């Protein structure tokens, strides 16, 4: 049967060519699997690696994470993006700590009740963390399945996605499920590339639909993408006594939980600079999100001004290393750490 050829070949390939020695591999630990799976969502391995190592060093098990200061968790995640993942990770750790006595649930139903754990992450936890049968469906799996079996359903629609899940269920073996699961991800990442699939070294080549019909580049069906809007933003950073005033994002979903300057949208409106003493430190810094692009200007503002009531906390240069900052704010932080007199202009002007 074709599905047996598929899984057998992958398992055999994995023993010889699969990725080994990644920081989250080599243990049977639902916790490590969980953290790695969350961290790797929509992220590449090389990017997540250093974050994972530091995270596990700080929070080696569910209990330490559950008892951690949320501020520290956000700081350790800062720079990785998709910050809801970090908030949910912390929240789920608390639930496992308080309601499950620090023991991970080992059923799909219980796992997906935890915030941030969906069907695929739950499947990975079962497969890697418990060595049980678990089914996953991520970008790699979709690409390999669509090419090998010739699946033209659109995974971005519910019905298409459902079909992919059915296929993934059908081909996932019970025996050596963890090896198979790692194999299909690894072959997707290292052989069945999006743009340059290495079909000549692929163990699935002889029975691959896409290879037979030379349609690798048409599979899987791509999502239509809208061009992201460009917005102009003004970052206002009040400075006083060598400290900067920051606000914690809570109304906007972008960067929620992180510390930011006062952010003003100047795409259409105009900001009145006439009554403040300021210094323009960044102009047109481009920051690209998935769904929008920001052109950022940043000014340091030296009080007195009427911005004080918008500030949630004042931080000195060193304290900025201890809190969660989004990427552009990390850039700004490095600027003012490097050019320290920026924060002491107050002394000259008062």
Question: Which CB atom, from 24 or from 149, has the smaller least distance to DNA?
Answer: 24
- Tokens representing 302? 């030296």
Q: Report if residue 328 touches DNA, rule: CB under 7 A.
A: yes
CB of 9 vs DNA, minimal distance in Å: 19
CB of 208 vs DNA, minimal distance in Å: 17
Element (H, E) at 313: strand 313-315
Pair 248, 312: CB distance under 8 Å: yes
Q: Report if residue 109 touches DNA, rule: CB under 7 A.
A: no
Neighbours of 36 (CB within 10 A): 26
Alpha helix (H) ranges present in the chain? 2-17, 30-40, 45-58, 62-66, 70-77, 84-99, 108-111, 119-124, 139-149, 158-171, 177-190, 209-213, 327-338, 345-349
Q: Report if residue 101 touches DNA, rule: CB under 7 A.
A: no
Q: Report if residue 94 touches DNA, rule: CB under 7 A.
A: no
What sign results for the dihedral spanned by CA atoms 264, 270, 276, 277? positive
Question: Which CB atom, from 123 or from 303, has the smaller least distance to DNA?
Answer: 123
Which of 95, 231, 234, 254 lies at the binding interface for DNA (CB under 7 A)? 254
Q: Report if residue 76 touches DNA, rule: CB under 7 A.
A: no
Strand partners, 288: 293
Which of 6, 11, 32, 37 lies at the binding interface for DNA (CB under 7 A)? 37
Binding mask 118-157 for DNA (x = CB under 7 A): xxxxx-x-------------xxx--x------------xx
Pairing relationship of beta strands 229-240 and 277-288 according to DSSP bridges: unpaired
Question: Which CB atom, from 138 or from 240, has the smaller least distance to DNA?
Answer: 138
Q: Report if residue 70 touches DNA, rule: CB under 7 A.
A: no
Stretch of 60-68, 220-228, 270-278, 295-303 lying at the interface with DNA (CB under 7 A): 220-228
Q: Report if residue 207 touches DNA, rule: CB under 7 A.
A: no
Cα separation of the two ends of the chain: 81
- Stretch 278-317 residues interacting with DNA (CB under 7 A): 287-292
Stretch of 183-191, 272-280, 314-322, 335-343 lying at the interface with DNA (CB under 7 A): 183-191
Query: How far lies 45's CA from each of 51, 53, 86, 87, 189, in Å?
Result: 10, 12, 17, 21, 10
Q: Report if residue 223 touches DNA, rule: CB under 7 A.
A: yes
Query: How far lies 272's CA from each of 234, 264, 269, 280, in Å?
Result: 11, 12, 10, 14
Question: Which CB atom, from 7 or from 303, has the smaller least distance to DNA?
Answer: 7
Q: Is 334 a catalytic residue?
A: no
Closest CA to 161 of 125, 120, 189: 120
Question: Which CB atom, from 45 or from 215, has the smaller least distance to DNA?
Answer: 45
Q: Report if residue 232 touches DNA, rule: CB under 7 A.
A: no
Number of residues that bind DNA (CB under 7 A): 63
Q: Report if residue 112 touches DNA, rule: CB under 7 A.
A: yes
Strand partners, 279: 300
Pair 73, 54: CB distance under 8 Å: no
Q: Report if residue 106 touches DNA, rule: CB under 7 A.
A: no
> 56: number of CA atoms within 13 Å, CB side?
18
Neighbours of 306 (CB within 10 A): 9
Give, as one character, the DSSP assignment of residue 105.
P
Identify the active-site residue in 37, 67, 110, 211: 37
Q: Report if residue 347 touches DNA, rule: CB under 7 A.
A: no
Q: Report if residue 180 touches DNA, rule: CB under 7 A.
A: no
How far is Cα 350 from Cα 336, in angstroms, rounded to an integer? 20
Catalytic residues: 37
Instruction: Summarize as ranges the residues that interact with DNA (CB under 7 A).
Output: 19, 22, 24, 36-37, 40-47, 78-84, 88, 112, 115-122, 124, 138-140, 143, 156-158, 185-186, 188-189, 194-196, 222-223, 225, 227, 252-256, 287-292, 326-328
């Amino acid at each position: 049967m074709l599905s047996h050829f598929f899984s057998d070949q992958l398992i055999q390939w994995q023993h010889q060519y699969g990725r080994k020695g990644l920081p989250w591999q080599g243990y049977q630990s639902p916790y490590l699997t969980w953290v790695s799976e969350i961290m790797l969502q929509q992220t590449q391995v090389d990017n997540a690696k250093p974050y994972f190592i530091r995270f596990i060093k700080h929070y080696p098990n569910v209990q330490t994470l559950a008892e951690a200061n949320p501020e520290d968790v956000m700081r350790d995640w800062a720079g990785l993006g998709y910050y809801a993942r970090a908030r949910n990770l912390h929240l789920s750790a608390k639930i496992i700590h308080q309601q499950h006595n620090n023991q991970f649930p080992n059923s799909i139903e219980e796992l997906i009740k935890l915030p941030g754990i969906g069907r695929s992450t739950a499947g990975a936890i079962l497969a890697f963390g418990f060595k049980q049968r678990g089914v996953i469906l991520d970008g790699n799996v979709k690409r390999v399945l669509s090419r090998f079996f010739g699946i033209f359903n659109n995974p971005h629609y519910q019905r298409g996605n459902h079909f992919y899940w059915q296929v993934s269920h059908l081909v996932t073996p019970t025996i050596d499920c963890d090896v198979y699961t790692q194999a299909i991800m690894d072959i997707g990442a290292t052989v069945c590339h999006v743009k340059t699939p290495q079909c000549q070294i692929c163990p699935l080549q002889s029975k691959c639909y896409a290879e037979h019909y030379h349609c690798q580049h048409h599979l899987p069906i791509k999502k239509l993408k809208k061009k992201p809007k460009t917005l102009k933003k003004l970052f206002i950073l009040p400075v006083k006594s060598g400290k900067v005033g920051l606000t914690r994002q809570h109304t906007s979903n972008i960067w929620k939980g992180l510390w930011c300057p006062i952010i003003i949208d100047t795409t259409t409106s105009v900001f009145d600079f006439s009554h403040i003493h300021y210094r323009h430190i960044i102009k047109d810094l481009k920051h690209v999100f998935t769904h929008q692009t920001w052109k950022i200007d940043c000014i340091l503002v030296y009080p007195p001004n009427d911005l004080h009531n918008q500030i949630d906390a004042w931080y000195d240069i060193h304290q900025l290393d201890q809190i969660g900052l989004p990427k552009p704010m990390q850039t700004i932080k490095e600027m003012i750490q490097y050019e320290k007199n920026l924060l002491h202009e107050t002394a000259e002007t008062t």
